[in-house]
Structure 1
Amino acid sequence: MNHKEVAETIKDIPQYINCVYAFNGTGKTRLSVAYKDITKAENDNEHAGVYYNAYSEDLFDWDNDEKNDNQNTKLDVKISSLNTLYSDLTEQVIEEQLLRYNPTYKFELTRNNNPEIGIDAVRFYKEADFDTSIKISSGETRIFIWCFFLALFKAEGWSDQQDAHFFIDDPVSSLDDNNIFLTADTIVELVEENFTTDRKIILTTHHIGLFSVLYDRFKYGEKSGRYKNNSKFFMLKKKNEDLELKDFEKETFLYHLHLLQELEEAKNSTLYTFHFVLMRQLLENIVSFLGKSQIKFVLQEINVDNPEQSINMLNSLSHKKVFVPQINEMNENEMKIFNEIFDKLLIKYNFRF
Structure 2
Amino acid sequence: MEQLATKIARLKKNIVLIYAFNGTGKTRLSVAYKNITKKNNKGNHAGVYYNAYSEDLFIWRNEERNIRLIIQPSTLNLYHQSFNENKLREHLTPYKPKFDFRFHLYPDAAQGIEFVQFFVKKDEAAKEDDAQGNEDIPIKISRGEQQIFIWCFFLALFDIDGWTGEGKQSQHFFIDDPVSSLDDHNIFITVSSIMDLIDRHFKNRKIIITTHHIGLFSILCDWIKKGEKASSYKDEVQLYILKKDEADIDFHSPNNEVFLYHLELLQILKKAIDDDRIYAYHFALLRQILENIASFLGVGRFAYVLEQIGLTDTDEVARIVNTLSHKTVFRYEAKELVPDNKELFKKIFNGIITKYNFVLHV
User: What's the TM-score once normalised by structure 2's chain length?
Assistant: 0.87
Q: CA deviation at 1:344?
A: 2.0
1:146 maps to 2:144? no
Q: Which amino acid aligns with 1:18?
A: V
**Cα drift, residue 58 of structure 1:** 1.1
Residue equivalent to 2:175: 168
When residues 338 and 89 of structure 1 are mapped into structure 2, their CA distance, relative to the original with a 3 A threshold, is: same
Distance 2:319 2:103 in 1: 48
Q: Tell me what 1:277 maps to.
A: 284
- Aligned to 1:228, which of 234, 244, 249? 234
| Corresponding residue for residue 341 of structure 1 | 348
How many residues align structurally?
A: 346
Alignment of structure 1 residues 46-125 onto 2, 5 Å: 46-65=44-63, 68=64, 71-125=65-119
* Structure 2 residue runs without a partner (length 5+): 127-134
Structure 1 residues 79 and 309, CA, compared in 2 at 3 Å: closer, same or farther?
farther
Q: Distance in 1 between matches of 2:160 and 2:77?
A: 12
Residues 220-250 of structure 1, C-alpha deviations (whole Å, 9 max, x = no match):
2222222101111112212334123122362
Distance 1:337 1:72 in 2: 56
Q: Is the 8 A contact 2:5 2:33 kept in 1?
A: yes
Task: Specify whether residues 323 and 61 from structure 1 end up closer, same or farther in structure 2 by C-alpha distance, changes over 3 A only.
Answer: farther
Counterparts of 1:51 and 1:213, CA distance in 2: 22
* In structure 1, distance between residues paired with 2:108 and 2:340: 61
Looking at structure 1, the residues matched to 59 and 294 of structure 2 have their Cα atoms a distance apart, in angstroms, of 37
For 2:27, the equivalent position in structure 1 comes to 29
| CA distance in structure 2 between the aligned counterparts of 1:213 and 1:37, rounded to whole angstroms | 30
The corresponding residue for 1:155 is: 160
Structure 2 counterpart of 1:325, from 324, 332, 339: 332
Structure 1 residue aligned with 2:260: 254
* Deviates further, 124-133 or 171-180: 124-133
Q: Is the 8 A contact 1:220 1:228 kept in 2?
A: no
Mapped to 2, the partners of 1:324 and 1:346 lie a distance apart of 25
- Residue 294 of structure 2 corresponds to 287
Q: Which runs of 5+ in 1 are unaligned?
A: none
The alpha-carbon distance between structure 1 residues 334 and 121, as it changes in their structure 2 partners (threshold 3 A), is: farther
Q: Partners in 1 of 2:345 and 2:112 — Cα distance?
A: 54
Greater shift in the superposed pair: 286-295 or 176-185:
286-295
Conservation of the 8 A alpha-carbon contact between 1:91 and 1:108: no
Structure 1 distance, partners of 2:203, 2:13, is 11
Q: Which whole-Å CA distance do the structure 2 matches of 1:40 and 1:348 have between them?
A: 52
1:257-307 CA distance string (max 9 Å, x none): 221111111111121222122122222222322333333343344344554
Structure 2: which amino acid aligns with 1:146?
A: W
Q: 1:220 to 1:316 in 2, by over 3 A?
A: same
Percent of paired sites with the same residue: 47
Q: CA deviation at 1:209?
A: 1.8
For 1:320 and 1:215, the matched residues in 2 are separated by 29
- After superposition, the CA RMSD in angstroms is 2.3
Q: Given residue 154 of structure 2, which amino acid in structure 1 is its aligned partner?
A: F
Between stretches 284-293 and 146-155, larger displacement belongs to: 284-293
One-letter amino acid of the counterpart of residue 37, structure 1: N
CA–CA distance in structure 1, aligned partners of residues 87 and 284 of structure 2? 40
Residues 312, 83 of structure 1: alpha-carbon distance in 2 compared, 3 angstrom cutoff:
farther
- The Cα offsets for residues 164-189 of structure 1, whole Å up to 9 and x where unpaired, read as 21111111123222222211111111
Once residues 195 and 139 of structure 1 are traced to their aligned partners in structure 2, the CA distance between those partners, rounded to angstroms, is 28
Distance in 1, Cα, partners of 2:270 & 2:168: 46
